[in-house]
Structure 1
Amino acid sequence: MAVALWKSLLQTTKSRLSLQRGMSLYNSAHGFEEEEIKKKLQQFGGGSINLSKENNGIGVLTLNNPKLMNAFTGTMMLELQERVTELENWKDGKGLIIHGAENTFCSGSDLNAVRAMSSPQDGMNICMFMQNTLTRLKRLPLISVALVQGKALGGGAEFTTACDFRLMTPGSEIRFVHKQMGLVPGWGGAARLVQIVGSGAALKLLSGALKVDPERAVHLGLAEETLPSSDETRSLEEAQAWLNQYTKGPGEVIQAVKKVITAGRELQLEAALRAEKDIFGTVWGRPANLHAVAQSTKHK
């Protein structure tokens, strides 16, 4: 009995630490050959993942490969991992907007890389690599929003589910086209989609490869709302204004809020409660808390 309790406590501690440190899902123990797949991905260049960090604590991550509807090349996958690491270390960050260059979101993977790395082992390594990266993205202590302009197809649709929220512009669509490619989602999109819309709706979206326009996405709970403008610059401004209502306040408090939600989503109840206790301890009696108490902050 004592051994079983010790193992349970150890597993709980590991789970809490994995959320705090941004640890990945897979390593060599799972057959993940990270360095090998990185070398292969490096051979397929083009496009970029650009990140700007504003003084208000809002970051903007841009998928930039407009010639291929912002499809992920191998080097873009590597750059995404680097940007996520940078965001994990952004002490002043509060929010993140992800969008695609030139008014479209992302069409998934670059087919040139897909054709060249078609072996089962390569496929599994890419799957684990992208699941690692997008899980770390989802766990960022930042409130994240996918701004869906134009099309989010396949892996692009999966990418949107790694964000906390999705906003869509008029005429845009999200579509899980994997069935038409003889596949299922491999970047974690199916598991996250079930969490967002439920298993029944997720099954329909995947098995039917259905086009989800903004109205349907809002109805399903896949998107928060449809923004007024389809103009690239204007819709980005609208997304920033939408996100600002949730990122007002000190960065350490916003980050703590995101952390307790992540713990509640991913951990079993007792482990989530302990994680919440630990996170609570990082803000209680700290400057933001003491200032609010001194000001006798009233809630209107």
Structure 2
Amino acid sequence: LPSFRRKFLAQVRFSKDNTSGIGHIVFDNESGKNALTGRMFTQLEDIVNELEAWKTGRVVIVQGAKGSFCSGGDLRMMKKVANPVDGYMMNRYMGGILRKLRSTEVITVARVEGYALGGGSELAMACDLRALHENAKIGYVQSKIAVTPGWGTASRLFKTVGRERALEMLALGTILTANEAKQIGLSNIVFADDKQFDSWIAQFTKIDLGAMRSAKKLAIGCDMDADSERKEAIEREVFVGTWGSPSHLKALSAGKKMK
């Protein structure tokens, strides 16, 4: 397909089954391994609003189309907003969407196949749980294009894997295999095929709906500590200080890969 047609085909799809309480959010952008465009940002926002109103939902599986999770932000879009002012606006907008996703009473599960890098890894981190295919890789590799995570990921990563390990990962842009991610608590399960993944997900359909959603409320409460807003403000300030810097612009101009 011509590139202009692929651009408009890039989308985020949502489906739900009220009987099982299982939903699916699928990122589909064939031109860039499911890279996120501005249009996909707004579609995700609409889906999150719909999730908030879904009172019979149990689990939502967040995944990419065609065997790849998400390679981060679309390079063409990133070049257009590569300045501190637009970076600040993107940080507030996308960070707010992911915060809202994490605060819904439905348990969100990132099903990671292929690569989850940069913004893709931030999307996975915003989910409550992560399931990685045995051949998948995940990396917070923003340092390789001279920036830091910008969608609220840093504090979640530090809390999940610990200060020392998270700092090393962010500074070096480390890419982890599925088993490495499981060993440090970044992945809840490593699965080999659909059958194994579906069997794991099926467990969430066998528990009382009220108990499931109450457990998620407890998790939401843990996220809302007294310092959460201050941490987000610091992360935003650091991100804006790197976004659109000479080193960042040079990396974008070179079309530098993050892996």
1:137 aligns with 2:95: no
**Alpha-carbon separation, structure 2, partners of 1:134 and 1:69:** 20
Alignment check: 8 A CA contact 1:143 1:247 kept: no
Alignment check: 8 A CA contact 1:45 1:76 kept: no
Which residue number in structure 2 is paired with residue 118 of structure 1? 82
In terms of Rg, which structure is larger?
1
Unaligned runs of 5+ in 1: 1-43, 269-300
Alignment check: 8 A CA contact 1:106 1:151 kept: yes
Alignment of 1:17-28 (within 5 A): none
Alignment of 1:189-208 (within 5 A): 189-208=153-172
| More displaced stretch, 62-71 vs 72-81 | 62-71
Alignment check: 8 A CA contact 1:70 1:101 kept: yes
Which residue number in structure 1 is paired with residue 196 of structure 2? 238
Which residue number in structure 2 is paired with residue 26 of structure 1? none
**Alpha-carbon separation, structure 2, partners of 1:46 and 1:109:** 16
1:265 aligns with 2:228: no
Deviations along 1:232-251, whole A, 9 cap, x unmatched? xx2xx533321221342342
Which residue number in structure 1 is paired with residue 48 of structure 2? 84
Which residue number in structure 2 is paired with residue 36 of structure 1? none
Unaligned runs of 5+ in 2: 1-6, 227-259
One-letter amino acid matched to 2:164:
G
Which residue number in structure 1 is paired with residue 60 of structure 2? 96
Which residue number in structure 1 is paired with residue 254 of structure 2? none
**Alpha-carbon separation, structure 2, partners of 1:204 and 1:249:** 38
Could you tell me how far 1:184 is from its partner in structure 2? 0.1
Alignment check: 8 A CA contact 1:247 1:254 kept: no
Which residue number in structure 2 is paired with residue 107 of structure 1? 71
One-letter amino acid matched to 1:68:
G
Which secondary structure state, in structure 1, belongs to the residue aligned with residue 78 of structure 2? helix
**Alpha-carbon separation, structure 2, partners of 1:170 and 1:246:** 22
Which secondary structure state, in structure 2, belongs to the residue aligned with residue 102 of structure 1? coil
Which residue number in structure 2 is paired with residue 49 of structure 1? 12
Which residue number in structure 1 is paired with residue 236 of structure 2? none
Could you tell me how far 1:191 is from its partner in structure 2? 1.4
One-letter amino acid matched to 2:15:
S
**Alpha-carbon separation, structure 1, partners of 2:220 and 2:202:** 20
Could you tell me how far 1:46 is from its partner in structure 2? 4.7
**Alpha-carbon separation, structure 2, partners of 1:98 and 1:137:** 11
Could you tell me how far 1:66 is from its partner in structure 2? 2.3
What TM-score do you get using the length of structure 2 for normalisation?
A: 0.81
Which secondary structure state, in structure 1, belongs to the residue aligned with residue 24 of structure 2? strand
One-letter amino acid matched to 1:178:
Q
**Alpha-carbon separation, structure 2, partners of 1:105 and 1:124:** 25
Q: Structure 1: which 4+ aligned runs deviate by more than 3 Å?
A: none
Number of aligned residue pairs: give it.
219
Matching residue within 147, 172, 178 for 2:136? 172
Which residue number in structure 2 is paired with residue 9 of structure 1? none
**Alpha-carbon separation, structure 1, partners of 2:184 and 2:208:** 33
1:213 aligns with 2:144: no
Alignment check: 8 A CA contact 1:94 1:142 kept: yes
Could you tell me how far 1:49 is from its partner in structure 2? 0.6
Task: With a CA cutoff of 8 Å and minimum separation of 6, indicate the structure with the bigger relative contact order.
Answer: 2
Could you tell me how far 1:196 is from its partner in structure 2? 1.0
What TM-score do you get using the length of structure 1 for normalisation?
A: 0.70
Could you tell me how far 1:108 is from its partner in structure 2? 0.4
Could you tell me how far 1:263 is from its partner in structure 2? 1.0
User: What is the CA RMSD across the aligned residues, in angstroms?
Assistant: 1.5
Which residue number in structure 2 is paired with residue 59 of structure 1? 23
Could you tell me how far 1:131 is from its partner in structure 2? 0.7
**Alpha-carbon separation, structure 2, partners of 1:53 and 1:218:** 28
**Alpha-carbon separation, structure 2, partners of 1:89 and 1:160:** 22
One-letter amino acid matched to 2:206:
K
Deviations along 1:122-144, whole A, 9 cap, x unmatched? 11000110110000111110111
Q: Share of identical aligned residues, percent?
A: 33
